[in-house]
Structure 1
Amino acid sequence: MVSVGVLGATGAVGQRFVQLLADHPYFDLTVLTASGRSAGKKYRDAVNWRLDVPLPESAGDIIVAETKTECLKNADIVFSALPADLATTIETDCAKAGIGVCSNASSHRMDQDVPLVVPEVNADHLRMIELQRDAGNDGFIVTNPNCSTIMLTVSLAPIRNFHFTDLRVATMQAISGAGFEGIPAMSIFDNVVPYIGNEEEKMERETLKIMGTFDGSEIVNAPFSVSASCNRVPVIDGHTMAVWLDIKEPVENVAKAFQSWRCPIGDLPTLPEKSVDFMVQQDRPQPRLDRMKGKGMTVSVGRLRPGIRYIAMGHNTIRGAAGASILNAELICDRGYI
C-alpha cells in the first residue's frame, strides 16, 4: 500500500478526498492536514462534514496535523486541496523532500515542467515527472486542471482526431465549485451570475496545454483557439457546458466517434466503465439525473447537433477535483513513478 495524505482536508474538496480515499485498494490514508486551529484534533472533531455520505470511520480518528512539510515525511503521495496561495510553497517543498504531489490547486498548472493531466486525454504527459527529477527533485508535482476544463477535455477525447480550429464553450457551473462558503444564498437563489473570477482564462489556457503534445522537453500547445464564457447557476453539484466546434464532418460521424470510443489507459480503481457516456435523449444530460454516473467520474455528453454542437456535464467535486487527482495518482503508480 502507498501511504498518502490530504492537504487541506477540512474543506469541500478535502472532504471529497477523504471520502474517496477511504478503503482505497492502492492507498493507505495516514495524514490529514489543515490550518493551525484544527491541528491536534481528531478529524471527526475538526471537520464540519457536509457531504451526503457518512464520514468514513477509518478517517475519523486520524489526528489532524498543521499543513507543514515536516508533518508529511512518512507520506509517499499527498493530495493537495489547498488554496492556490498556500499551495505554491508547500507543494514545491514536498516535491523537494521526495514526496509525490497530486494537486487540485491552480498554483503549478502552467509551470513548464509540471504535467497538467487528464488520464483519458494526455497520460503520456506524465513523462514530465522525469524533467522534475532531472532538475533535482526526489518527488514531483502532477496537477489536474480546473473542474470545467476537465469536463471539456474528457468530452473532446473521442473526437480529437476530427479537424477543428475554433472551440467555444459556455458553462453553467454548480455552487459547490465555489466551496462551502463561496457564494451567499442571496446572491445565487433565483439567479445566474455571469462571472467566475479567472475561470474563463483557466479554461482557455489549460485546454491548450492538456490537448497539446509533449515533445520530450516541453509541451507544444494544441493548434486551435478556445473561447470560454463561465456562469454560476443555482445547482448544488454538476457543471454543465454547451460546446461549439468548427468540425465539418457529418454529425453522424461525430456521433459514431462518441459511441465507439474506449479509454486508452487500462483498468484503474477510480476509472469508470465509461469515461464518456453519449446520450441520445434530447433533454439530457442533466446534473440532478446524471452527475453520479460512474460514481461521479463519468462525463455525460448529449444534444449533439450539426455545427458541431453538444452539451457536456460532470460532477465538479468528484470528476472535476478530488476524483481527478486520485485517478492521476493511480496512473502514476501503475506506470511505476512511485
Structure 2
Amino acid sequence: MASKIPVVVLAATGSVGQRFVQLLDQHPWFEVVALTASERSEGKTYQEACNWLLSTPMPDWARSMPVLPTHPTGIQAKIAFSALPASSAKDIEPEFARAGMAVCSNAAAYRREPDVPILLPEINAEHIHLIPAQRKNRGWDGFITTNPNCSSTGMTIALRPILDQFGVKRVFVTTLQAISGAGYPGVASMDILDNVVPYIGGEEEKIEWEPRKMLGKVQGDQIALADFRVSAQVNRVPVVDGHLVCLSMELEKKTSPDEVIQALRAYQLPELCQGLPSAPQPPIVVMDEPNRPQPRLDRMRGDGMTTTVGRVRVDPLLDIKMVVLSHNTIRGAAGGSLMNAELLVKTGFVK
C-alpha cells in the first residue's frame, strides 16, 4: 500500500479503545490520525487522559496526541473505529457515517438494523453487500458495519462449517465470560473473587439472535436469518481475558465427533479474506487434549484472533457438544473491527 489510510479511534481511553490503539500500532495499512474521548478528557494528551491497562506499553506516537471531542468536525479520517458504549453510539456513529467515514463499530446499537451487517469475515464476508443499500436508505456518504457480541463471536465461527455440512436445528449455549468483557473498572472484586455471577444484562438475548443474522443469507437489501434456535445461559467468571462457550447442538444430519472435527479443521478463510493482515490462518484450531482449550493457555493463539475448539464429543440429549474459546477483547472486540476494516479496504468500500 503506497500510503496508509487515516483512521480515528472513538472512545480511545476506555478498555476497548486502548485495545484499538494497541492493535493499530505499526499496522501496515492504517495510521491513527485522531483519538477521541468524553468531555472530561478533551484537551488533554492521550497519556494524561488514559489509564493504560494493557501489558504492552502505550505506543510512543499516542502519548502526545491530543484527545479530541467525539465529533467528525475537523477529523480527516476515512475509517472510524468505534469503542463507544451502545447508548452513545446510537447518536454519534451516524454523524461519522454522514461525514463520509466507514464506521467499524464494536457497539451493539446498530446490530439489529436490517441494512447493517454484523461482520465476521471468516464466515460472512459477503454481508458487505448490504452497504450500498444502507447508504441509499439513509442518505449517508459513509456507512456503519458492526462486529458481534464477544461471546457470539467464537461460537458463530465454530458453527459455520457445522451448519454448512450437517445443518443445525437447535443450539444450547453456556458461557463462561472473562471480567474484561465488562470494561474497566468492571465487576467489583468482592463480587467476582471466589465467585461466579450467573447474569450479564442483555447478553443472553444477543447470543440467541446474533448468530442467526451472521449465518443468514443476503436477500436483496437485508439478511434472511438462519433457521435454527439458540438458548443461552451466561456467567461472569474470575478470568481476565478469554470467553469459553460450551455448545450442545442438534443437527439435521446425524454425524460423528470425528466428522465434525474434520469439518472444523478443513474450514478455510474465504477468498475475500486472503491477505488481510489480521486474518488468522487457520481460522479454527481444534485441540485433542481432554482439558483444552483454556483461557490462560490458548487465548493468544493467532495473536488472539484464532477460534479454538476442544472436547468435541457426543451429546446424549442432542447430537454433538464442544467447548469454544475466543479472546473477547481482541477477536471479540477491537481485533474484530480491525479485520472488518481490512475487508472493506480489500473490497474497495474504503479507498
For normalisation by structure 1, the TM-score amounts to 0.98
Q: Distance in 1 between matches of 2:313 and 2:148?
A: 27
Which residue of 2 is the match for residue 228 of structure 1? 232
2:296 & 2:111 partners in 1: Cα distance? 30
Q: Which residue of 1 aligns with 2:169?
A: 165
Counterpart of 1:129 in structure 2 is 131
- The answer to whether the 8 A contact 1:188-1:233 is kept is yes
> 8 Å contact 2:162–2:168 — kept in the other structure?
no
Helix, strand or coil: the match of 2:80?
A: strand
For residues 263-321 of structure 1, the C-alpha deviation after alignment (integer angstroms, 9 at most, x for no partner) is 11212101122221111111000000000000011111000001300000011000100
The question of whether the paired residues in 1 share the 8 Å contact of 2:36 and 2:67 is answered with yes
Partners in 1 of 2:281 and 2:211 — Cα distance?
Answer: 24
Judge conservation of contact 2:36–2:69 (CA < 8 Å) in 1: yes
Q: 2:115 corresponds to which residue? A: 113
The Cα offsets for residues 226-282 of structure 1, whole Å up to 9 and x where unpaired, read as: 111110000000000100111221222111111221111212101122221111111
- Residue 71 of structure 1 and its aligned partner are, at CA, apart by 4.3
Give the conservation status (yes or no) of the 8 Å contact 2:71–2:95.
no
Secondary structure in 1 matching 2:174: strand
Residue-pair matches, total: 337
- What is the rounded CA distance, in whole Å, between the counterparts of 2:148 and 2:168 in structure 1? 22
Match of 1:26 among 7, 26, 29: 29
Q: Distance in 1 between matches of 2:189 and 2:161?
A: 38
Question: Are 1:203 and 2:204 counterparts?
Answer: no
Please give the secondary structure, in 2, of the residue aligned with 1:301: strand
Compute the TM-score of the two structures, normalised by the length of structure 2: 0.94
Structure 1 CA distance for aligned equivalents of residues 227 and 154 of structure 2: 20
Give the corresponding residue for 2:328: 316
- The answer to whether the aligner puts 1:266 opposite 2:274 as a matched pair is yes
Match of 1:90 in 2: 92
1:231 alignment partner, SS class: coil
Distance 1:49 1:275 in 2: 30
The AA in structure 2 aligned to 1:333 is V
- The CA distance in 2 between the partners of 1:163 and 1:330, in whole Å, is 30
Residue 335 (1) aligns with residue 340 (2): no
Kindly indicate whether the alpha-carbon contact (under 8 Å) linking 1:69 and 1:90 is maintained by their aligned counterparts in 2. Answer: no
How far off is 1:216 after superposition? 2.1
Which of 297, 306, 312 is the equivalent residue of 1:298?
A: 306
Letter of the 1:234 partner, please give it: P
Per-residue CA deviation, residues 44-82 of structure 1 (Å, 9 max, x unaligned), is 11100010111011211211101122143x110000001
Aligned residues of 1:65 and 1:71 also touching (Cα < 8 A): no
- Deviation of 1:180 after TM superposition, in Å, equals 1.1
1: CA distance between counterparts of 2:331 and 2:142?
Answer: 25
Report the CA distance between 1:37 and its aligned residue.
1.3
Determine the structure 2 residue equivalent to 1:144: 147
Structure 1 unmatched ranges of 5 or more: none
1:184 and 2:188 equivalent? yes
Letter in 1 for 2:146: T
1:116 maps to a residue whose letter is: I
Q: Rate the CA distance shift 1:11–1:68 in 2: closer, same or farther, 3 A.
A: same
Q: How large is the Cα RMSD of the aligned pairs?
A: 0.9
The structure 1 segments of at least 4 consecutive aligned residues displaced by more than 2 Å after TM superposition are none
C-alpha separation between the residues in 2 aligned to 1:115 and 1:326? 15
Instruction: Specify the alignment match of 2:220 in structure 1.
Output: 216
Is the aligned partner of 1:251 residue 2:254?
Answer: no
Name the SS for the 2:211 alignment partner. helix
Q: Secondary structure at the match of 1:246?
A: strand
Paired AA for residue 303 in structure 2 = K
Larger displacement relative to structure 2 (158-167 or 25-34) = 158-167
Asked if the contact 1:212–1:222 (Cα under 8 Å) also holds between the matched residues in 2, the reply is: yes
Q: Which moved more, 1:60-69 or 1:223-232?
A: 60-69
2:285 corresponding residue in structure 1: 277
Task: State the match for 1:14 in structure 2.
Answer: 17
Look up the SS of the partner of 1:70 in the other structure: coil
